[in-house]
Chains A and B, each alone.
Chain A
Amino acid sequence: MRNTNTVLVVDDDEGIIDLLTMALEDQGYQVHSAVGSGALKAARDHVPGVILLDILMPEMDGVEVSRRLRADPATAHIPIIAMSAQDRLDTTGATLQANDRVAKPFRLDRLFEKVAHWASA
């Protein structure tokens, strides 16, 4: 069972993690954060309602993280919203296993809509 009130933010940029933590907590969510492969353990531990996953990260990128999350029965069912500041989000989308996408910079209200939709989906 997912914790629909919980969001896992996976990004290597502290500024983005802080922003999303504040903004989503403000919306009433419990927010956890992780970088790269740390997302795999965090997702198992917290089983969030939705995972916000950055694509371009050092060590392990979002494409690989999404693949492993999907391969693990404990996390395979958690919806993933991919975030990218790159143009090539659509190209990586071919191998990226995400339910939705959001391009950086995003509008907060649009992001809240997506998070609400997938957390309760």
Chain B
Amino acid sequence: MSRRWPAIRKRYVTALREYVATPDETNLSRAYELGRELVGEAASILDVSTVYHQELARLLRAASTPQNARRALARARSFFGESLSPIAMAQGGFQDTVDRLRDLRQMLEFQQAISGATRMADAIASIVAHAALPLGAGSCVLLRPTADGSWEREGPPGDEQRQRPLSNVERRLVKLALQKPRPVVLDMAGDNAGVDDGSGDPRSLLAVALRSGEATLGVLLFEARTAFGPAEVTLAQLVAETATQAIRRAELLEQYAETRGSELALRETNHRMEEFLSVAGHELRTPLTSVLGNVQLIARWIAELNQGVQGLPDPPDQPLSLRLAQLGKALQRADRQGHILVQLVNDFLDVSRIQAGQLALRLAPCDLAALVRGCVEEHQPILARRGMQLDLPEEPVHVIADEGRVGQVLTNYLANALKFAPPTQPIVVGLRVEGDDARVWVSDEGPGIALAEQAHIWQRFYRVPGVQYVDGSSVGLGLGLHLCQSIIERHGGRVGVDSSPGAGATFWFLLPVAGQQRSGSEEPWAASRAVEKETPVL
């Protein structure tokens, strides 16, 4: 009960008494207005009823004669009988509340019915099956815009008019609904609005657009045999908003499912690629193992035989010794070429793996100086024949790296230097810490690389034209430097070459030194760890 209640009650009782004394139109409408106000301020219908009973009791007590009492009762009854009396209004309020509760329950049912739909078809079927109920409409159809500018009609199950084109009236109403922000109603019932004439023909149409931002998802078209009132218009707006959300949700879920599907398909493809590369590697290397192993075994036997022949005091057959030496050389060539083939297979598989985003690095803390030293020592038999200078720091240089892969890069640089530089000129291998980076380089005194070529040498399958090989084989796929670049960049480092024609070349790479904090990295190894992710690098 509001604070205004006692004052209104007092004025209302006065107006009531004046009406009972003089039952004219002025007093009636005054009592009526104040009665409305009283109902508006009442906490419950009981409060309003109490005012009546108290007032009626007072009138009866005040009646000095039975005639007076009868007159008072009649007037009171006539007043209470007015449909607009506070009690009637309160009863109306009850009905209103009941109606609203019913509307709310039906809206909730509608929301529940459509909220479970995860697919667009289910969402639409749910909307058209349940949207009519909250409005008390006879039917509801959803019109969806098609690519050719017409409307596709989605009706409830058994909707025989599914294929029916829109009538002129419906088309005009839909057009209007698209222009208006609120539902539009076409009332064909005229003065008999609210009365079902029993003909079965729709008497009233309501159209409301389903909008999501700038887009129109569709139009809901309701038909009823009674007129749509303001309450139905409000409900239609709510139904439209709920339906829009359901459609958008189904759309997003379908998009998500599609994206997820593509992602899973991609993962499956990558997995198959990895399997294929693994099997391909195995199948290509197994026969090579056999070929090279046998070549080496025969070479050993021939060397033994040759030694045996040489050991004889008087070689009985000079041509045999000569032939054994020739065989030994032929086998050496076969062995060398076989190893080039192994390298090509490895490069080919590595590049395929990089392209498939499958080149996984096994990162671990390591000493780059020891790694460089070990790598050079491995090539010592070859390097010993050539002038070789090492420029390494005494102390360890800590990096987070895949030792095998970084060793592969250095081996590649060394192989190139051996291939192109004259045997009389030394090759320098160096390591130096420069700020946050460790720089490793291989310098040769070879023919050098023209500036125009330098940008291309890291590309896949690129081979510098017209270069003379001084050692090894000219065979190559143009993959070596490309692999070097991919491997180093996956470590968070950089590669490069400093060269000019006739002045040799220095191939280098930079790796982040462990413990050096990179900008934006919270932990010292973050720069290296970042490259562990299995992301395509090309």
Contact = CB atoms under 8 A, between A and B. Distances in A.
Contacts, number: 64
B297 A19 contact: yes
A105 B285 contact: yes
Contact of B300 (A56, A105, A106, A108): A108
B362 A90 contact: yes
A63 to B, nearest CB: 14
Contacts of A56: 282
A60 interface: no
Interface in B271-301: 277-278, 281-290, 292-294, 296-297, 300-301
A73 interface: no
A104 interface: yes
Contact of A87 (B278, B283, B297): B278
A104 B294 CA distance: 13
Contacts of B281: 85-87
Given A85-B286, A87-B278, A105-B285, A19 B293 contact: yes
A105 B389 CA distance: 31
A27 to B, nearest CB: 10
B297 A13 contact: no
Interface in A29-73: 56
B166 interface: no
A15 B290 contact: yes
A113 interface: no
Nearest to A90: B362
Given A86-B278, A86-B281, A23 B286 contact: no
A15 B278 CA distance: 20
Interface in B330-362: 338-339, 342, 349, 353, 360, 362
A76 to B, nearest CB: 28
A107 B360 CA distance: 26
A56 B280 CA distance: 12
Contacts of B362: 90-91
B293 A23 contact: yes
Contact of A88 (B278, B285, B293, B296): B278
A15 B338 CA distance: 17
B261 interface: no
A88 B360 CA distance: 10
A74 interface: no
B229 interface: no
B186 to A, nearest CB: 72
B297 A104 contact: no
A85 B289 contact: yes
Nearest to A107: B296
B361 to A, nearest CB: 11
A105 B297 contact: no
A116 B516 CA distance: 44
Contacts of A104: 285-286, 288-289
Contacts of A109: 296
Given A15-B287, A105-B288, A108-B300, A86 B282 contact: yes
A67 B182 CA distance: 74
Nearest to B338: A105
Contacts of B501: none
A90 B407 CA distance: 15
Contacts of B289: 16, 19, 85, 104-106
B404 interface: yes
Contacts of B278: 86-88
A26 B297 contact: yes
Contacts of A88: 278
Contact of B285 (A19, A85, A108): A85
Q: Which 6 A-B pairs have the closest CB atoms?
A: A85-B285, A15-B290, A105-B289, A104-B289, A19-B293, A108-B296
10 contacts: A16-B286, A16-B289, A16-B290, A16-B293, A19-B289, A20-B293, A22-B297, A23-B293, A104-B289, A108-B300
Given A16-B289, A56-B282, A105-B293, 10 more contacts: A15-B287, A16-B290, A19-B289, A26-B301, A85-B281, A87-B277, A87-B278, A104-B285, A104-B286, A109-B296
